[in-house]
Amino acid sequence: MRIYGPQTLFEDVQQRGLCIGCGGCVALCPHFKTYKGKTARLFPCDRETGRCHAYCPKAEVDLDELARQSGQPSYPASPAGGYQRIVASRSGRRLAGQTCQSGGTVTALMTLALASGRIESAVLTGTKGLVPHPVRVTHPDGVAACASSKYTAAPTLSGLNAAIEAGRRHIGVVATPCQATAIAQMRANPLQQDDFQDPAGLVIGLFCTWALDTRHLIAFLDQRMDTRRIRKMTIPPPPAEVLIIRTDTGDSEIPLDQIRPLIPGGCRICPDMTAEWADLSVGELEGRPAWNTLIVRSETGRALVDEAARDGWLETESYPSGQLDHLLGAARGKKRRALQQARADGLLNSAPDTCRAALRLDAKTVDALIGDGEECACRY
């Protein structure tokens, strides 16, 4: 990993328009803050290296290095990263009566992780109005309150950093792929600190094809409705192609083509749909709205899922064979588009003496992932 300082971070990420506001650089020092979905640099800092740069998922992310840190020989040329197994899942009887976004898998697993003492707290994402913000939960009953899809880039990691700075460890996090990437870099002790302790006890990743810029989305919706009345947002699986806004007075449907311009630039170079650096990754299961896709990646994740299934927190089934190709196809499509975009923008494997990169990985892996360059049917 090439690690630079906060000024480089500001130039390479914020000024290039790549910041997705994950909060990875926030609450480490007084210089970076998050406000209304955007990360702001309050003052310049001339440190030559810093955790802010080391954690950032849009600055010099070395995917091969991250793979080695997680025990893989190199970053795999596979659409969904390295994993042990993929299953269908939903919350079990222990969570009966809880309202969740789809299958309730994330709520069930994080509730169990807290209840069992695997983690001492969980950093989740809540909302104030339409603005997402980190929520730190220490009691299992608090998890369900954050159970809904946000669709806007969230500064969740500022909550993780704040908890770590307060001396907390064994922290669970529900993270989008970019946030999981930042956590993976965090767990690698990038600055080689002597007193380093892995702060994350569990990372549950969420599938993500893109997020929306919080401020742009609020401005967009403000022109169309009273945003104070919005209760929930959801994007049904294809071929729906709409964002459904659920309000006190009924539903509104907004074609995805209208909101795609609100996607932050950083999402367009993100190669990760399935949160590859998490212990467990969870997404919707197309065709079965009350179920999730659950990818088990690490031993930590496997042990939690096994206990959850055994003790009634989670129901699992074998993954429908027809769905796997579809899932991997979508993940492959996102990877291909992101790597093509990053390469076109000069942000992939840039020569160290000319330009700093956003992403680095073996050139042969890049070729294998991009393939013949044909555009996938799946779209952002």
Partner 1 sequence: MENTPGQRHLVMGNEAISRGILEAGVQVAAAYPGTPSSEIIEVLSQVAARRHMYTEWSVNEKVALEVAAAASFAGLRAVAVMKQVGMNVAADFLLHVALRGIRGGLVLISCEDPGGLSSTNEGESRPYAKMMEFPLLEPGDFQEAKDMTRWAFDLSERLGSIVMVRSVTRLSHASGNVTFGQLPEDRPTADFNFNGAMLDPDTGPMINLPGPVTIIHRRQQEKMARAAALFETSPFNRYDGPERPELLVITASACQLYCREAIEILGLEQRVGLLKLGTTWPLPIQLLQRHLALCRRILVVEEVLPFLEENLQAFAARAAARIGIKQFFGKNDGALPSTGELNPDLVMAALSRILDIAPMGRDDAYRRRAEAIFAKGAPPRELTFCPGCPHRASFWGIHNALAMDNRRGFVSGDIGCYSLAALPCGFESLKTLHAMGSGLGMASGFGKLSPFGFDQPVIAVCGDSTFYHAVMPALVNAIHNDANVTLVVLDNSGTAMTGFQAHPGLAVNALGETVPTVEIPDLCRAMGAKVRVCDPFDLPVTQNTLLEMLDDPQGVNVLVLRQICALSPEKKGKKRYDMAVDPQICRADDCGCNRFCTRIFRCPGLGYDPQKGTARIDEVICAGCGVCADICPSGAIERKQRS
Can residue 191 be called a binding residue for partner 1 (CB under 8 A)?
no
Restricted to residues 48-67, the positions that interact with partner 1 (CB under 8 A) are 50-51
Can residue 199 be called a binding residue for partner 1 (CB under 8 A)?
no
150 vs 148: CA distance, rounded Å: 6
165 vs 232: CA distance, rounded Å: 33
Can residue 196 be called a binding residue for partner 1 (CB under 8 A)?
no
How would you label 344-364 residue by residue, b for 16+ Cβ within 10 Å and e otherwise? eeebbbbeeeeebbbbbbeee
Helix (H, G, I), strand (E, B) or coil at 380: coil
Joined together, the tokens standing for residue 7 give 């000024």
Q: Exactly one of 1, 2, 16, 33 binds partner 1 (CB under 8 A); which one?
A: 33
Can residue 288 be called a binding residue for partner 1 (CB under 8 A)?
no
| Of 117, 134, 120, 139, the residue nearest 197 (C-alpha) | 120
Can residue 43 be called a binding residue for partner 1 (CB under 8 A)?
yes
Can residue 97 be called a binding residue for partner 1 (CB under 8 A)?
no
SS (H, E, C) 306-350: HHHHHCCCEEEEECCHHHHHHHHHHHHHHHHHHHHHHHHCCCECC
Can residue 47 be called a binding residue for partner 1 (CB under 8 A)?
yes
Rounded to a whole number of angstroms, the minimum distance from the CB of residue 38 to partner 1 is 5
Rounded to a whole number of angstroms, the minimum distance from the CB of residue 175 to partner 1 is 22
Nearer to partner 1, 180 or 217 (CB): 217
Can residue 168 be called a binding residue for partner 1 (CB under 8 A)?
no
Using CA atoms, how far residue 332 sits from 57, 165, 209, in Å, is 19, 37, 11
357 vs 346: CA distance, rounded Å: 7
Can residue 38 be called a binding residue for partner 1 (CB under 8 A)?
yes
Can residue 162 be called a binding residue for partner 1 (CB under 8 A)?
no
Nearer to partner 1, 35 or 380 (CB): 35
Task: Name the residues that contact partner 1, by CB under 8 A.
Answer: 28-31, 33, 35-36, 38, 40-43, 45-47, 50-51
